[in-house]
């Protein structure tokens, strides 16, 4: 038997957090995870999908075979995104979400057709690990098969968490004493990219760190957000971000929306090209939310960094279908989310225009603050910078 306690103890010392979805077997693994102090740091949520309808509700379809690699993968995928929702994302506090799915058919009070088997999948940000365990029917009790499946779950989680001393799969087979020729344990590892899920609109936004890691969550509050097309990223963006960081004490996140209210949407390959500009430089948020009222729902209590030209457009009724009520609702959504605008001066119609020179309707004035020219001023437009790079 796998030495459970040291492995579970080591798992709890890593920054990994998991959501565990299981059906048919795996309850002992959850007991083991909770039997060692520190499980609250690791286990975000665990659900026993005992009824077939519960499992189908989780994965979103009715499988022809409930015990299969495909079902375990779907469970792990759902568990990963559930974990992303449950664990607050903080860029300064490393975390690694993993989704664990297990579906199995083991000994019961009736004779089953076919082999007893278990399928386990672990979904992490860049890889999917899947395991298939085939057990010889009639040689173990239900309790023994449950323990065997649960050992496999603990071992696979420890392996994913890079626990030192975790045995190789060949050694693990010897530890759990699989019967030669009649029992098998196989492993598959495949790479994936959260960007693909984002492009399919399965997640609302994606954070790419300067080091190339990707994270997601339902919301990320209390940040400063500098939106732009970044075609290209230039010194003006960097200087503005630095000025706001000094003003607020917050890390500035750049945001690229692939959907734009006034321009064409950004294609996949082009978005990847623009993403590379931020490698080893700054965190970039990818969204498909062109409106600030939409961004406010994703990033509540945040500062939106804009130029005065953008601020002037926000105050134009034509961007709200010439409907003043629609305009008021948009600004109220931003206000209720606890967001505000930090406005940098820009050259506008041949002159440098600061926010203090703009006549803002009083009912929206509290949502805007100026970035003083003494902190940031750029006497060139993005179009001129882009032209200079051509």
**Residue 299: pLDDT over 60:** yes
The per-residue pLDDT for 377 is: 87
**Residue 387: pLDDT over 80:** no
**Position 254 confidence tier, pLDDT thresholds 50, 70, 90:** very high
Q: Which of 84-88, 300-304, 336-340, 365-369 has the lowest mean pLDDT?
A: 84-88
- The CA-CA-CA angle for residues 344, 350, 354, to 5°, reads 25
Strand 252-257 versus strand 184-191 pairing type: unpaired
178: number of Cβ within 10 Å: 18
Helix axes 69-86, 52-59, angle to 10 degrees: 70
- Segment 290-315 shows an average pLDDT of 95
Q: From CA 328, how far away is CA 335, in angstroms rounded?
A: 10
Question: Which residue stretches of the chain are H helix?
Answer: 4-13, 27-34, 39-42, 52-59, 69-86, 142-160, 169-175, 194-199, 235-248, 268-276, 292-298, 308-314, 324-336, 382-389
- Segment 162-173 shows an average pLDDT of 94
Residue spans in the chain of domains classed CATH 3.40.50.620: 195-389
Q: Count H helices, E strands: the chain?
A: 14, 16
**Residue 23: pLDDT over 70:** yes
**Residue 90: pLDDT over 80:** no
Asked if residues 139 and 194 have their Cβ atoms less than 8 Å apart, the reply is: no
pLDDT > 90 in the chain, percent: 72
**Position 385 confidence tier, pLDDT thresholds 50, 70, 90:** low
Q: From CA 376, how far away is CA 182, in angstroms rounded?
A: 72
Nearest to 303 by CA among 256, 251, 347, 261: 251
29: number of Cβ within 10 Å: 28
The per-residue pLDDT for 328 is: 97
CATH number for the domain running over 4-192 = 3.90.950.20
Mean pLDDT of the chain: 91
Residue spans in the chain of domains classed CATH 3.90.950.20: 4-192
Q: Which CATH architecture has domain 195-389?
A: 3-Layer(aba) Sandwich (3.40)
What separation in angstroms does the CA of 185 have from each of 13, 135, 168, 181?
28, 9, 12, 11
The pTM score is 0.79
Q: Environment class of residue 369 by beta-carbon count within 10 Å: exposed (0-12), middle (13-18) or buried (19+)?
A: middle
Query: If DSSP codes are grouped into helix, strand and coil, which group holds residue 23?
Result: strand
The CB-side HSE value for 334 (13 A sphere, CA atoms) comes to 22
Asked if residues 227 and 298 have their Cβ atoms less than 8 Å apart, the reply is: no
Helix axes 27-34, 142-160, angle to 10 degrees: 60
Nearest to 277 by CA among 333, 234, 221: 234
Q: Chain-centre distance of CA 194, in angstroms? A: 8
**pLDDT tens per residue across span 333-367:** 999 999 999 999 988 777 889 999 999 999 999 99
The single-letter DSSP state of residue 333 is H
**pLDDT tens per residue across span 144-155:** 999 999 999 999
Q: From CA 1, how far away is CA 218, in angstroms rounded?
A: 40
């Amino acid at each position: 038997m796998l030495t459970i306690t040291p492995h579970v103890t080591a798992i709890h010392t890593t920054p990994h957090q998991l959501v565990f979805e299981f059906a048919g077997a795996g309850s002992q693994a959850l007991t083991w995870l909770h039997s060692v102090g520190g499980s609250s740091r690791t286990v975000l949520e665990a659900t026993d999908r005992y009824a077939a309808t519960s499992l189908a509700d989780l994965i979103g379809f009715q499988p022809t075979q409930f015990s299969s690699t495909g079902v375990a993968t779907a469970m792990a995928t759902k568990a990963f995104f559930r974990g992303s929702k449950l664990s607050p994302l903080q860029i300064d506090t490393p975390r690694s979400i993993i989704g664990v799915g297990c579906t199995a058919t083991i000994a019961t009070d009736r004779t089953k057709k076919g082999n007893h088997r278990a399928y386990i999948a672990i979904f992490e940000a860049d890889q999917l690990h899947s395991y298939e365990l085939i057990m010889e029917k009639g040689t173990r009790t239900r309790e023994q098969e449950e323990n065997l499946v649960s050992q496999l779950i603990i071992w696979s989680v420890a392996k994913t968490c890079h626990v030192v001393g975790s045995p190789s799969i060949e050694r693990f087979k010897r530890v759990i004493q699989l019967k030669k020729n009649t029992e098998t344990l196989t492993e598959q590892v495949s790479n994936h990219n959260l960007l693909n899920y984002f492009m399919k609109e399965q997640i609302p936004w994606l954070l790419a760190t300067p080091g190339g890691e990707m994270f997601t969550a339902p919301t990320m509050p209390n940040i400063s957000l500098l939106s732009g097309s970044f075609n290209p990223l230039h010194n003006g963006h960097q200087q503005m971000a630095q000025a706001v960081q000094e003003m607020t004490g917050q890390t500035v996140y750049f945001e690229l929306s692939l959907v734009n209210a006034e321009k064409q949407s950004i294609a996949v390959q082009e978005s990847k090209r623009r993403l590379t500009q931020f490698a080893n430089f700054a965190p970039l948020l990818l969204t498909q939310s062109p409106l600030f009222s939409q961004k406010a729902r994703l990033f509540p209590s945040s500062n939106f960094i804009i130029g005065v030209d953008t601020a002037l457009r926000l105050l134009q009724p034509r961007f709200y279908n010439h409907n003043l009520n629609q305009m008021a609702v948009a600004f109220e959504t931003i206000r209720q989310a606890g967001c505000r605008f930090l406005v940098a001066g820009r050259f506008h119609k041949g002159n440098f225009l600061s926010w203090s020179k703009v006549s803002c309707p009083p009912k929206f004035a509290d949502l805007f603050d100026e970035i003083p020219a003494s902190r940031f001023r750029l006497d060139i437009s993005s179009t001129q910078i882009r032209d200079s790079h051509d």
